[in-house]
Structure 1
Amino acid sequence: MDSRILLPALLLVVGLATVLAQTTSAPEPACETKNGTSCELCLKNVKCLWCIKTKACVTYPVKTILPPHALCPLNEARWGLCWMNFQTLIITLAVLGGVIIIAFLICLFCCCKCENFGSRRFDAKMERQANKTRTKQEERKAEMNQRHDEIRKKYGLSGQNPYSKFA
């Protein structure tokens, strides 16, 4: 078969198999059915929250972002990982976020400062080149005037130009 037809057909079959596998899989049991088990069993389901103090597996309260203290204190709550409590997770994420923001601001400041410095350096270089060109042009103009004066002297045309009164 042609590879232009085979590849899309294969992707279609794999995509359909994935969709059907997701729709036909059995729904996860409710988190509350895992009360009194272990943290690992509870946290196999992403929707569950484990409270060490009460050894309860509860559905994570998504409407309140952080679990309320009445449900489980933050230092006793586990979600995702059994060895990291919510307090540590929040502090770690806040510190990482702060470090990323500070690093971004420092990079932004350094780039702008370096860009301005490079721009000044470039402007100075262009000005030096312009001055050098202007100096060379003035030297050539002086040499040309000197040659013209020598030619005028040679042919006796060093007097006043008779046409200067019309200018």
Structure 2
Amino acid sequence: MTRSIDYGTLMHRAMRGLIQTVLNEVAEHGLPGAHHFFITFDTRAPKVEMADWLKSRYPEEMTIVIQHWFENLTVTSEGFGITLNFGNQPEPLWIPFDAVHTFVDPSVEFGLRFESQDSEDEEEDETEEDFEITEESADKPRPEAEVVSLDKFRK
């Protein structure tokens, strides 16, 4: 049996851990300065919890903004819960980290993009492809903030 290091999975786990750490800090201390987040997630993902009217309005993907008004931010190792205001109607959401597609903080031009990975049952060619923007994802509307590569911050 040939063993190999699955860098793609390890990188996704580390990036989701970064989001967990940031959201934990915000839950404990609030948003510092001008920081705010655009988080896009798969509304069809297992364990996503949201109002039926929101799910019908966003049947595949939704972007939330954590900025001026939010309540009840709770973070676990699996995901986060938050109450957001939709047209003066507070709605609770539960978003597993595995459902997150993008995490962007435009105040510091920081962003992470998670491309879908092949099933563990299927053989993967190179996990490097998981981090490239595909034609399909390039056509999707994006938040106004720029998603930057982590390479930009290396010296």
TM-score by length of 1: 0.20
Structure number with the bigger relative contact order (C-alpha 8 A, sep ≥ 6) is 2
- Report which of the two has the higher share of strand: 2
- Report which of the two has the higher share of helix: 1
| Higher Rg | 1
